């Protein structure tokens, strides 16, 4: 059975200490694009065969690049006992390098995003991941991946991960009435921007000016 990793405070501090104090090994990076999704690979000891694999899914508007430092530190820490780990940082569909790949079948939902991961495993001939880690939207994809895997959607050879780590995400659908429509507001803001950005300074001002105007209005400065 898959389980959500819950670390006791003391154990968490020990793990953090190991991450911060363990010397960083040589890390092998590779950017690869296939018919499904793009990914990056981090290995603690690229010259040795790996023992375990962890898949990492980023959040909305993110990419695999956001998790490079975390993956390097985690691989270094976990491999300190002589066990070699491989981290697969996935660019989910329409994100990162996967945004350059055509042919993703709609709808672009959690179910198909999770299926992309299964297609990646099958196309590369890999063993199924031992650990799956997902942040925010990536957490939703991770939950969907495990749920579909448990129902046999990916075939009889598919194996449930030993651990499931879900960060800043919760199971089930989010009631739009309880979400304050944050994602919708972000998307509306992005859609309102011109296709060509004049400069980084202009972009920063465009994002921050509504925030400062709101503060001024609140304190009666406007």
27-72, pLDDT tens digit by residue? 334 444 445 899 999 998 888 899 999 999 999 989 999 999 999 9
The C-alpha atoms of residue 92 and residue 116 are separated, in whole angstroms, by 8
Residue spans of beta strands (DSSP E) within the chain: 28-32, 38-43, 52-57, 85-91, 131-135, 163-167
State residue 222's pLDDT score. Answer: 41
Going by pLDDT thresholds of 50, 70 and 90, the confidence category of residue 81 is confident
The answer to whether the Cα torsion of 78, 80, 83, 84 is positive or negative is positive
This prediction has a pTM of 0.71
User: Pick the residue with more confidence: 34 or 85?
Assistant: 85
Average pLDDT over residues 69-97: 92
State residue 103's pLDDT score. Answer: 86
Q: Please tell me whether residue 147 adopts helix, strand or coil conformation.
A: helix
Question: pLDDT per residue over 171-202, tens digit each?
Answer: 887 776 766 777 777 778 778 777 787 887 87
Going by pLDDT thresholds of 50, 70 and 90, the confidence category of residue 105 is confident
For the domain made up of 9-173, the CATH class stated in words is alpha beta
User: Pick the residue with more confidence: 219 or 145?
Assistant: 145
Give residue limits of the domains in the chain: 9-173, 176-222
């Amino acid at each position: 059975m898959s389980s959500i990793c819950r670390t006791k405070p003391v154990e968490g501090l020990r793990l953090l200490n190991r991450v911060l104090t363990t010397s960083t090994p040589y890390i092998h990076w590779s950017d690869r694009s296939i018919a499904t999704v793009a990914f990056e690979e981090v290995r603690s000891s690229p010259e040795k065969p790996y023992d375990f694999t962890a898949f990492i899914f980023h959040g909305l508007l993110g990419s695999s690049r956001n998790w490079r430092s975390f993956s390097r530190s985690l691989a270094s820490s976990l491999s300190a006992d002589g066990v070699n780990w491989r981290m697969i940082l996935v660019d989910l569909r329409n994100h990162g390098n996967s945004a350059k790949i055509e042919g993703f079948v709609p709808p672009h939902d959690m179910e198909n995003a999770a299926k992309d991961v299964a297609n990646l495993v099958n196309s590369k001939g890999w063993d199924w991941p031992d650990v799956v880690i997902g942040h925010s939207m990536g957490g939703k994809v991770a939950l969907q991946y495990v749920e579909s895997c448990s129902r046999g959607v990916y075939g009889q050879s598919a194996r449930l991960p030993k651990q499931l780590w879900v960060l800043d995400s919760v199971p089930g659908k989010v009631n739009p009435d309880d979400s304050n429509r944050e994602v919708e507001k972000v998307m509306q803001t992005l859609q309102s921007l011109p296709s060509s950005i004049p400069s980084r300074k202009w972009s920063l001002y465009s994002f921050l000016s509504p925030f400062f105007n709101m503060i001024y209005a609140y304190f009666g400065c406007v």
